[in-house]
Amino acid sequence: MSALVDLLQSRGLIAQSTDLDALRAELSAGPMTLYCGFDPTAPSLHLGNLLQIITVRRFQLAGHQPLGLVGGATGLIGDPKSSGERVLNGADVVQAWSERVRSQLERFFDFEGPNAARMVNNYEWTKDVSVIEFLRDIGKHFSVNRMLDREAVAARLAAGGISFTEFSYQILQSFDYLELYRRFGCHLQTGGSDQWGNITAGVDLVRRVERASVHALTTPLVTKADGTKFGKTETGTVWLDPQMTSPYAFFQFWLNADDRDVMTYARLYSQADEDQIGAWESATQQKPQAREAQRGLANELTTLVHGAQACAAVQLAARALFGQAELVDVPDDALAAAFGELPMARLDAAEVVGGQLPDIVTLMTRSELAASNGAARRTIAEGGMYVNNERVTDEQWRPHVSDLLAGRFLLLRRGKRTLAGVVLSQP
C-alpha cells in the first residue's frame, strides 16, 4: 500500500506533505481512513474539485477508506479569498447546493466492501455546538499570530481588512479533522495546495486535543502553458454538472488541451498505467496532430464524470460534425450540446417563408462562417461549402425546414474543418 505514495510522487501529485516517510509507514501497516472536503460554494463541482476526487479515488482503489465531506457548515462561512470578502449565501441555498455536491461526489466512490466510502456533512457536528463551547474547547488551541500569517488573510489585511466570519474559517475546518478523527479514526486529509494552512491547522488541533499524529497531503495548483487559468474556457468554468457544462463541451475541453500541457494533465488525472502514459507521451512528440493523448484523456474523464453512454454520444457527435458519421444518428441532446459550441446564426419563425430558410450566402455571413457575401460566394464556387455534410454548389440555394436536424439545426462547414451552425428558435 505504501507504493501509492511513490505513484503520487511520480505523477507530480504531491505539492506538500507533513511527513511522507511516516505516511508510508502507516499506509504499509494497513488500510487508512482519509478525507477531503468540498464546500458548496456553487451548485456544482468543477475541474479543480475533480483532481481532489481522483486523488481520493486512488487511495480507495489502493484499499483505503475515503470520507467525502460536504461542507454544509463551512459553506455558510466561506474560505477567505485574497481578492475580497465573499457574499454569504443563504442557508437554504447552501443546503440545496450541499445536496447537489453530495450527489455528485457519490458517483465517484465505491460504497460497498471492506473499504466502503462514507459521505459526511460537517453541519451535523457544528449545528448544535454553542459559541461558548466552541471558543473554550476549540478556539483556545489556535494562535492568532499564526492565523494572521496565512497568505489569503495577510493579503486581505493589507488590502483593508477581513471579517471575523471569514477569519474563523480555519478553525471550523480544523474542527472537521478533529471530529473525523474521533468518529472514524481519520488519519489523513488531502486537498489543494491553497488549503495547506487550513489542513495543517487541523493536524495541529488533533495533536493538541487528542495527542495523536495525523497527516496532511496537498496536490499542486494546475497551470496552463499559455498563462490562462486551468479549468476555464471562453464560456467560463468547466463544471461537472451536465446541465452547466455539457458532456460534449467537457470532452472538447480535454481534446483541445495544449500539447505542452496534456501530459501533465494525464499524469494528474488519468488512471492509465505508466506504459500507456509513455505511449501517449511518445505520440504527442512524434505525431501531435493525431492528439492521441488528448483523445485518450477526454474519453477516460468524460466516461468517469458522465458515463460511457454519454461519452459515446459525444464521440459520435464529434465525428458527425466533420462528416465521419451520420448526423441523424446523433442523439438530440448531444447534437444540441455540440451546436452550442459553434458560432451560430439564430433565426426566428418569421424568417421562414414558404417552408424555406434564408439563402446559403446569408446564412454563411450571419453565422460568421464567411466574412462577406463575396467571400461566401467564392467558397461556394470553389466547392468548399457543405450543409449537413452535403456539398452546396448554388449560391441561391435555400434550405427547407425539412433539412433541419432535430427540427432546429443546420450544420454549416467551410472546407474540412471550419464549422458554424444555424438554429431556428422554437415558438
DSSP state at residue 36: E
Length in residues, the chain: 427
Q: What is the pLDDT of residue 152?
A: 78
pLDDT at residue 2, rounded to an integer:
62
158 CB burial (10 A radius; 0-12, 13-18, 19+): exposed
Distance CA(261)–CA(265), nearest Å, equals: 6
Asked if residues 322 and 417 have their Cβ atoms less than 8 Å apart, the reply is: yes
**Residue spans of alpha helices (H) in 138-291:** 144-148, 151-159, 164-167, 169-184, 196-210, 247-255, 262-269, 274-286
Cα separation, 220 vs 235, whole angstroms: 25
Which fold does the domain 3-219 belong to in CATH?
Rossmann fold (3.40.50)
Q: Where are the domains of the chain?
A: 3-219, 222-326, 342-427
CA 196 to CA 193: how far, in whole Å? 5
Determine the pLDDT at residue 81.
78
195 within 8 A of 17, measured Cβ to Cβ: no
pLDDT in tens, the chain (427 residues): 568 999 999 999 999 999 999 999 999 999 999 999 999 999 999 999 999 999 999 999 999 999 999 999 999 998 887 777 888 899 999 999 999 999 999 999 999 999 999 999 999 999 999 999 999 999 999 888 888 877 778 888 888 888 888 889 999 999 999 999 999 999 999 999 999 999 999 999 999 999 999 999 999 999 999 988 899 887 789 999 999 999 999 999 999 999 999 999 999 999 999 999 999 999 999 999 999 999 999 999 999 999 999 999 999 999 999 889 999 999 999 999 999 999 999 999 889 999 999 999 999 999 999 999 999 999 999 999 999 999 999 999 999 999 999 999 999 999 988 999 999 987 6
| Model confidence, pTM | 0.90
Query: In 19-161, which ranges are continuous DSSP H helix?
Result: 20-29, 47-61, 91-106, 123-126, 131-137, 144-148, 151-159
Domain covering 342-427 assigned CATH 3.10.290.10 in the classification: yes
Residue 100's pLDDT is what?
Answer: 97
CATH class name, domain 222-326: mainly alpha
